[in-house]
Amino acid sequence: MLYQPITIKNLHLKNRIVMAPMCMYQSDDTGIAKDFHFTHYATRAIGGVGLIIQEATAIDPDGRISKEDLGIWSDDHIEGLKKIVHAIHANGAKAGIQINHAGRKARVEHPIGPSPYAFNDQLLVPKEMTQADIDKVISDFKEAARRANEAGYDLLELHAAHGYLLFQFLSPNSNKRKDAYKDRKKLLVEVLQAVNEVWPKDKVLAIRFSATEYVQDGVDPIWLSTVINEIKDLGIDMIDVSSGGNVVSQSIKIYPGYQLDLAHTIKEKTGLITVGGGLIENVQLGDYAISKGLCDLVFYGRLLLRDPYHFINHATDIREEIEYPKPYLRGKK
């Protein structure tokens, strides 16, 4: 099943293999794409990945996870992003982009967040966002979505996981507001409404969520599924299921596929297409996850950093025969 095609709206994927968005820290203060990015993403496309989701790309220079993040806060970024899309498409994969604001986890001089509580002792206490701050974030997400479409991406993913801004509003551990945004889904709803004004209806819109915070009284997959069901008519096509990142927790047990059960819960409760994963190190476990209905696609991260050609070299591990890239046929085992 891992190598079987799937169609989501007008997006036709040759397999169920997804490259997870992973920060590369290879830009500079401009946020503009560099030669590294073109090579990095093209290589994974050559290696047989069906869908590549580009690393968290900042909608605001003050919302960057690091000062080396890619940016999408200016029209000046579009040219470089088009080159990334071309590199992916030219080598047989589809291109997604994850857009993000890091909120209180931004490594900048004046971070913002829903409430004035720092993530940890190493990061600054954020300024509690005013309505003007919130309005700017909504506008920035909208403009980022417009630029992503102009750059030619096939899929847009909003980053509402890992303790970044959209998730900060969703969590009772970081959202202590007393105004209308004490409704923890309100900002996400408003961002979705704004994005829908510019992101084409025939293109896929995804959200990456942390389905649990691994602490009592935090976000959990049942509560999150309820929220998703309340907002899924706002154009959501796919849920990318991750976990953690908003509070420091000692109860996270990490093992191959440790987030698959979370993806299964979201899939069952919402009926939406889900992407699952979590330290999946081979084709067998990914194939098992899809075959057993735990998720519809599988994301791979660290494995693809170590071995970009893993999926063309190991298809036969699950008795799949795929078309091998012609330039490398002499090296095929």
pLDDT tens digits along 140-193: 999 999 999 999 999 999 999 999 999 999 999 999 999 999 999 999 999 999
What is the band of 307 on the pLDDT scale with cuts at 50, 70, 90?
very high
Check whether 249 has a pLDDT greater than 90.
Answer: no
What is the band of 333 on the pLDDT scale with cuts at 50, 70, 90?
confident
The Cα 219–Cα 171 span in angstroms is: 6
For residue 228, the model assigns a pLDDT of: 98
> Whole-model pTM above 0.95?
yes
For residue 250, the model assigns a pLDDT of: 75
DSSP state of 75: G
**Average pLDDT for the chain:** 97
For residue 80, the model assigns a pLDDT of: 98
Q: Which amino acid is at 167?
A: F
Question: What residues form DSSP beta bridges with 58?
Answer: 71, 100
Look at residues 215, 224, 210 and name the one whose alpha carbon lies nearest to residue 173: 215
- Residue 174 burial by CB count (10 A; 0-12/13-18/19+): exposed, middle or buried? buried
Question: 240-254 burial by CB neighbour count: b if 16+ within 10 A, else e?
Answer: bbbbbbbbeeeeeee
Look at residues 118, 89, 94 and name the one whose alpha carbon lies nearest to residue 106: 118
Q: Are strands 297-300 and 17-19 parallel, antiparallel or unpaired?
A: parallel
Q: Which CATH number fits domain 20-279: 3.40.800.20, 4.10.320.10, 3.20.20.70, 3.30.1310.10?
A: 3.20.20.70
- Domain range annotation of the chain: 20-279
Q: Are strands 11-13 and 6-8 parallel, antiparallel or unpaired?
A: antiparallel
Residue given tokens 């203060």 in the structure block: 29
- Residue 87 burial by CB count (10 A; 0-12/13-18/19+): exposed, middle or buried? buried
Taking only the tens place, the pLDDT of each residue in 48-104 is 999 999 999 999 999 999 999 999 999 999 999 999 999 999 999 999 999 999 999
For residue 291, the model assigns a pLDDT of: 97
